Structure 1
Amino acid sequence: CSVACGSGIRQREVECVYRDQIVDASLCPESQKPKIQESCTLLACAFWDLLPWSSCSASCGSGVQRRMVQCVRGSNKLIVGERECKEEKPKTERTCERDPCPNAKLEIYWATGPWTECSQSCGNGTQRRIVVCHDHIRELGAEYCTQIEKPPNTRECNIRPCAQWSVGAWQPCPATCGIHHVQRRRVSCVPIGKKKEIEINSVLDELPEIDCDPAAQPEAVRNCGLKACPVEQKPVYGNWTTSGWTENMP
């Protein structure tokens, strides 16, 4: 049967046989062909039968409720072993809350929520969270927690310093002529508020370059823009001489 319990179907192979050999189905009368499948019914499936919850065990404050959970089978709910029920067994016990007991000392405290993200992506920002007065059941008005120190609902945050590019003066060109000479300058990533122009070899509170915008990074090397050096003239020590032209061959 196609199921382990309840109603399903079962199938079988049906073949045409002639002289103990399987032949084409067209050689057997179609009207006499046996059924390939039929319905089947097994024992009814077992299931969890849930009885109503009992009354709360306490008349005030916190208590417990219980219920009976049985594994049964069929419409008449015949009780069977729990392993016959394949699904997880439902809970048979749960807590229940009644009104606070008279003169009971309740635990009252400040409940805090998670911190928000920092209000700034760099530099000084602020994080916030919810802080409410609470007991073991519900939220209360702030006046119930006046005798308890309230946790802060804001705090400062600084993910990373805000940064900018700072540059030094260009170094002198190493020559007075030549088209391939370059000059250099210092380019640093520094906290905002530092001077944008710095002296060569000055000491700064430098930050990693990834803290500054790479698209705005100033150039640190440039061509001096000098003219080409003049070609040196070689000294002349002699003159050219020529022989006579050759005569025509006879």
Structure 2
Amino acid sequence: CVSNVGDFVLDEECNMNLRPADVENCDMGACAKSWFYTEWANKCSAECGMGVRSRGVLCLNNHISSLPLEGCGSERPADSQVCNSGPCENAIEWFTGPWSQCSAECGPGSQQRSVVCLMKSDEGFTLMPPYECSSLDRPLGQQSCNLKVCGAKWYHTDWSSCSKTCEGGFRVREVRCLSDDTLSSEGCDEQLRPVE
């Protein structure tokens, strides 16, 4: 803001409605966009035979900010390619089956799975004796499991017949506290115990 005699004065002395803009938008056209990618992974997904290897692919503008993958156009470089680790000549590995059900419905139990030594070739798999895989780490064939904490409930039989056919007699039934896995337990609330 300059006075009539050419001196700089405070902005408040000028009509603020007539103040020229000191910032304006401009557009130099779209930012350059390019595909950036990492080197291919050294390791093939298969130890022998055909597999796949991958790399990272990003669409970036010249400010190095990530854009949607379609932002660089349709010619996106591949992020995976087929690789061949050579013929499967007597590759020996441990193979595992699925885990069995837990041996206990509640509380600590165990579960098992089959662990076998197989030779993998281009023709398929051959079962081998376990010592053939002895140089490899053997997967676990058994592990502990715990599906839920065991609770306990009162169980009872039906009442017996009355001890007499007339006048005062008695009848009985058996009452037991059992855990969820049907073992005897002391975890039942005595105040809820059914009458015997």
Task: Check whether TM > 0.5.
Answer: no
Higher relative contact order (CA 8 A, sep 6+): 2
Normalising TM by the smaller chain, what interval? 0.3 to 0.5
